[in-house]
């Protein structure tokens, strides 16, 4: 695996920050600490990062999650394939194996096979969960071993562009999903009866999780336009990326029962009824998709911005200094980013879709390691 090294650049124009939200219930994810002493955070634009290519010639990789053996499962949006990447190596990177192709998926626009989550009990139940589009709606389904895809939650609004798709298990053991508003007018996000424009919290059977804001409802938060990234930090704080329009893309701290304002608020808002973002960027230079956390470093993958945006935060979630940009224009559109068990970030490109300009090796899966031995801060 060929590796290169680049420096982070401070990104100060066109971004704004908000206050952190309170901690979220649950237990922290099992994230590794850096193998070397980290340096002071904030505006350290000299941080170096080593980049290697793990896999090539993928087709619009969307979801990415790790397996207990150190390998990862990757979804391809348009082919409806689930791939396993690694942990075995080949001459050009990691071995890529097709696990399944889901005939139930209907790919069109930005719909298709989207997020994927690995069961917390995967070592014994061999179960995966996927977020996918059909002709009628978006759904969450369960794949147990070699069994048939079983839909466990249906009726999430489907549209050409705003389908959401984020899927991840929280540290509390429940399954969270980020959905899209599904309408140009933004009518679903503020409708408590709709699953569109929400973050949902469900059991592995697809039922509303106990402790949700409204009994017998899967809705955890509302007022979202298009949630495509979910993650948690070591203090149990939950983050989500939001592809806003027309003003800003957002990084939100997700708090039970809160309303994040869409379509009445986009980016910063003075309306006390809505919860503002931790950080926001102009949509045309960002369009945030995936998000991941290592220690107190947050990485968001940007489609239109064709970059990885890095933020350092304090233990209580306050942003330190200015955000920094990485890979600007170097690998094209970036969608997926996850924290790997070894303390690196894995990043997936998204150049094989209509809006991309694919190179001869696209799409690719990258591995990023910061010069301090990891991306984290203490």
Instruction: List, as one string, the DSSP characters of 282-346.
Output: EGGG--EEEEEEETTEEEEEETTTTEEEEEEE-TTSPEEEEEEEESTTTS--EEEEEE-TTS-EE
Q: What is the mean pLDDT of the chain?
A: 87
What per-residue confidence (pLDDT) applies to 266? 84
Rounded to whole angstroms, how far apart are CA atoms 299 and 316?
Answer: 17
What per-residue confidence (pLDDT) applies to 246? 65
pLDDT band at 18 (very low <50, low <70, confident <90, very high): low
Question: Using an 8 Å Cβ cutoff, are 345 and 72 in contact?
Answer: no
pLDDT band at 377 (very low <50, low <70, confident <90, very high): very low
pLDDT tens readout for residues 49-66: 999 999 999 999 999 999
Rounded to whole angstroms, how far apart are CA atoms 297 and 232?
Answer: 11
Rounded to whole angstroms, how far apart are CA atoms 53 and 2?
Answer: 7
Question: Using an 8 Å Cβ cutoff, are 310 and 326 in contact?
Answer: yes
What per-residue confidence (pLDDT) applies to 281? 87
Domains in the chain: ranges and CATH: 3-370 (2.120.10.30)
The SS3 of residue 206 is: coil
Confidence (pTM) = 0.89
pLDDT band at 46 (very low <50, low <70, confident <90, very high): low
Q: β-strand 81-90 against 93-101: which pairing, if any? A: antiparallel
pLDDT band at 118 (very low <50, low <70, confident <90, very high): very high
- pLDDT of 196 over the 60 cut: yes
Most confident of 23-27, 44-48, 120-124, 314-318: 120-124
What per-residue confidence (pLDDT) applies to 254? 98
Stated as kind and residue range, the H or E segment containing 51 is strand 48-55
The SS3 of residue 358 is: coil
Give mean pLDDT, residues 139-147.
Answer: 93
Give mean pLDDT, residues 204-212.
Answer: 99
CB atoms inside a 10 Å sphere around CB 99: 13
Beta bridge partners of residue 6, listed in sequence order: 49
- pLDDT of 277 over the 70 cut: yes
Percent over 70 (pLDDT), the chain: 85
Stated as kind and residue range, the H or E segment containing 28 is none
Question: Using an 8 Å Cβ cutoff, are 369 and 336 in contact?
Answer: no
Unique residue bearing structure tokens 């970030």: 345
Most confident of 91-95, 167-171, 260-264, 302-306: 167-171
Encoded tokens for 229: 């990234």
Question: Using an 8 Å Cβ cutoff, are 60 and 101 in contact?
Answer: no
Beta bridge partners of residue 108, listed in sequence order: 111
pLDDT band at 5 (very low <50, low <70, confident <90, very high): low
- pLDDT of 124 over the 60 cut: yes
106 HSE (CA, 13 A, CB side): 11
Exposure string of 240-275, with b = 16+ CB inside 10 Å and e = fewer, is: bbbbbbeebbbbbbbbbebbbbbbebbbebeeeeeb
Most confident of 97-106, 176-185, 241-250, 280-289: 97-106
Give mean pLDDT, residues 168-177.
Answer: 99
pLDDT band at 267 (very low <50, low <70, confident <90, very high): confident
Rounded to whole angstroms, how far apart are CA atoms 76 and 54?
Answer: 16
- pLDDT of 164 over the 80 cut: yes
């Amino acid at each position: 695996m060929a590796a290169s090294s680049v420096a982070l650049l401070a990104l100060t124009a066109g971004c704004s920050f908000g206050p952190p939200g309170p901690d979220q219930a649950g237990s922290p994810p099992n994230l590794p600490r850096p193998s070397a002493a980290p340096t002071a955070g904030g505006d350290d634009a000299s941080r170096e990062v080593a980049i290697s290519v793990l896999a090539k010639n993928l087709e619009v990789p969307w979801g990415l999650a790790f397996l207990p053996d150190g390998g990862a499962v990757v979804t391809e949006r348009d082919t409806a394939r689930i791939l396993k990447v690694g942990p075995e190596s080949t001459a050009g990177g990691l071995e890529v194996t097709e696990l399944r192709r889901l005939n139930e998926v209907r790919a069109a626009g930005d719909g298709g096979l989207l997020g994927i989550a690995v069961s917390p009990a995967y070592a014994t139940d061999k179960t995966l969960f996927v977020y996918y589009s059909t002709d009628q709606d978006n759904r969450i389904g369960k794949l147990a071993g070699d069994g048939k895809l079983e839909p466990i939650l249906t009726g999430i609004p489907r549209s050409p562009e705003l389908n959401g798709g984020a899927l991840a298990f929280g540290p509390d053991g429940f399954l969270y999903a980020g959905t899209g508003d599904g309408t140009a007018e933004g009518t679903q996000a503020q409708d408590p009866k709709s699953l569109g424009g929400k973050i949902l919290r469900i059991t592995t059977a697809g039922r509303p999780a106990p402790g949700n804001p409204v009994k017998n409802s899967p809705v955890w938060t509302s007022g979202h336009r298009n949630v495509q990234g979910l993650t948690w930090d070591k203090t149990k704080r939950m983050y989500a990326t939001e592809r806003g329009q027309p003003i800003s893309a957002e990084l939100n701290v997700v708090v039970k029962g809160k309303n994040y304002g869409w379509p009445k608020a986009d980016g910063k808002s003075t309306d006390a009824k809505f919860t503002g973002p931790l950080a926001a960027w102009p949509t045309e230079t960002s369009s945030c998709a995936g998000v991941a956390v290592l220690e107190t470093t947050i990485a968001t993958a940007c489609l239109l911005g064709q970059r990885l945006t890095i933020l350092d935060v304090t233990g209580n979630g306050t942003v330190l200094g200015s955000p920094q940009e990485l890979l600007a224009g170097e690998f094209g559109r970036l969608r997926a980013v996850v924290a790997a068990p070894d303390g690196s970030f894995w990043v997936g490109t998204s150049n094989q879709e209509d809006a991309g300009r694919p190179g001869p090796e696209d799409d690719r899966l990258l591995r990023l390691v910061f010069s301090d031995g990891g991306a984290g801060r203490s």
